[in-house]
């Protein structure tokens, strides 16, 4: 495999991220669905994932760079998957057992540490358990989880190929 296929896979991951980000913004502004804190965390991780893959596509790194870009990309995908799993689990809790709301995002940023804000976000609210939209009977967090798992599989496949020596044979000039 030459460097070009690796660059193409970074581009594929970038385009998947762009399309998914586009869908999330459409659901917010077109379908008027207000995202909860966990949704915003997933969207932020998706944006970072997409940016990493764009930079990798433009940079066209060599072997070590490819390892680093896939590792960073997979790190974002893993954190996104963890966040999506948490939200899917929260959706199985009856809404009357969840707190109604937390302070605003602006308040949390100004007055809480990052750890405290994340802890509150992962506890969830009624907003996190409501299922306002489905496609093929899957909620938004479930689709988010599928996306992150697919990107983990893509990255894991590339990582294993790199480690086994099957990938990235450099062409002599």
The ranges assigned to domains in the chain are 3-164
Q: Is the pLDDT confidence value at 162 over 90?
A: no
Is residue 32 exposed (0-12), middle (13-18) or buried (19+ Cβ within 10 Å)? exposed
Give dist(CA 135, CA 131) in Å, integer: 11
The per-residue pLDDT for range 73-93, each reduced to its tens digit, is: 999 999 999 999 998 888 887
pLDDT, tens digit (0-9, with 9 covering 90-100), for 106-119: 777 788 887 877 77
More confidently predicted of 49 and 157: 49
Per-residue CA distances from 160 to 4, 50, 76, 79 (Å): 18, 21, 18, 20
Query: The whole model's pTM is what?
Result: 0.81
Alpha carbon 130 to its chain's center: 20
The Cα–Cα gap between 171 and 96 comes to: 62
Is the domain spanning 3-164 CATH 1.20.1530.20? The answer is no
Residue 126 has pLDDT above 80, yes or no: no
């Amino acid at each position: 495999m030459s460097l070009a296929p690796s660059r193409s896979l970074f581009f594929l991951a970038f385009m998947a991220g762009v399309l998914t980000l586009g869908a999330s913004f459409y659901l917010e502004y077109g379908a008027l669905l207000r995202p909860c804190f966990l949704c915003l965390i997933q969207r932020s991780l998706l944006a970072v994932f997409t940016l990493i893959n764009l930079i990798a596509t433009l940079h066209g790194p060599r072997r070590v760079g490819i390892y680093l870009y896939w590792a960073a990309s997979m790190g974002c995908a893993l954190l996104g998957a963890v966040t999506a799993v948490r939200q899917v689990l929260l959706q199985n809790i009856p809404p009357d057992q969840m707190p109604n709301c937390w302070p605003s995002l602006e308040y949390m940023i100004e007055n809480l540490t990052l750890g405290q804000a994340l802890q509150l976000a992962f506890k969830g609210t009624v907003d996190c358990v409501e299922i306002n939209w489905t496609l093929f009977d899957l909620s938004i967090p479930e689709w988010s989880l599928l996306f992150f798992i697919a990107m983990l599989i893509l990255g894991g496949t590339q990582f294993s190929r790199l480690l086994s020596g099957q990938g990235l044979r450099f062409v002599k000039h």
